[in-house]
Chain A
Amino acid sequence: DAKTTQPTSMDCAEGRAANLPCNHSTISGNEYVYWYRQIHSQGPQYIIHGLKNNETNEMASLIITEDRKSSTLILPHATLRDTAVYYCIVRFQAGTALIFGKGTTLSVSS
């Protein structure tokens, strides 16, 4: 079973920041938080990952709380092409299986 909890769906206006929350209260000290997204009918796409520090790349920012029990994925300026299902996953390290939950369906509208 997935070790994360995410809202089923969220809406965001185009050009605004999309903040997607994830709860992972049972995360262990050496587990990473990964985010993937899946646009309709495509394979999942890696977005970002982190251990305990906040991370930023060209796609998004990842904010992990100090107790590591929750995190937030931030898409700073959402576009229509960001409409997708977003999955938050915890895993020990690269090379282990990705356990997907149901994810959050983000709908970006103009």
Chain B
Amino acid sequence: ETGVTQSPTHLIKTRGQQVTLRCSSQSGHNTVSWYQQALGQGPQFIFQYYREEENGRGNFPPRFSGLQFPNYSSELNVNALELDDSALYLCASSSGAGKGGEAFFGQGTRLTVV
């Protein structure tokens, strides 16, 4: 157990719809990052939030957006869902301070777009 919780665990959406995924970070962690993992691939970095501000983004279109709240929990929003958005979405939290702090991952949300 890492203390990082994600909800929901599974979700089925229709192409064109919007989805919101949630992540509660580990106590004491102020940095949350999101990853997309397609079947058979390694996780791909979407973006990262540090103290409620986005401070890094991977190669994902603007329809992928996020928020971080004062308690450091976070949301990932995806608009205009496409079939290729079907994947495991992972949230990771870390202290983000100093060198060497590892990231702790949640169990992920499995999104299926039909």
- A42/B107 contact (C-beta < 8 A), A94-B96, A94-B97 known: yes
- A87 to B102 Cα, complex, angstroms: 14
Taking a contact as CB atoms closer than 8 A, the residue among B43, B56, B95, B108 that contacts A96 in the complex is B56
Collect the chain B residues with CB atoms within 8 Å of residue A21's CB: none
- A93 to B94 Cα, complex, angstroms: 12
Q: Which of B14-22, B44-52, B74-82 lies at the interface?
A: B44-52
Interface of B (DSSP majority class): loop
Does residue A49 face the partner (Cβ distance < 8 Å to B)? yes
Residue of B nearest to A92 (CB): B99
Is A95 a contact partner of B105 (Cβ separation < 8 A)?
no
- A87 to B7 Cα, complex, angstroms: 25
Collect the chain A residues with CB atoms within 8 Å of residue B33's CB: 97-98
- Interface residues in A, total, Cβ within 8 A: 22
Interface of A (DSSP majority class): loop
Collect the chain A residues with CB atoms within 8 Å of residue B24's CB: none
Residue of B nearest to A50 (CB): B100
Does residue B58 face the partner (Cβ distance < 8 Å to A)? yes
- A100 to B37 Cα, complex, angstroms: 10
Residue of B nearest to A47 (CB): B102
> Which residues of B come within 8 Å of A, CB atoms?
2, 4, 31, 33, 35, 41-45, 48, 50, 56, 58, 90, 92, 94-108
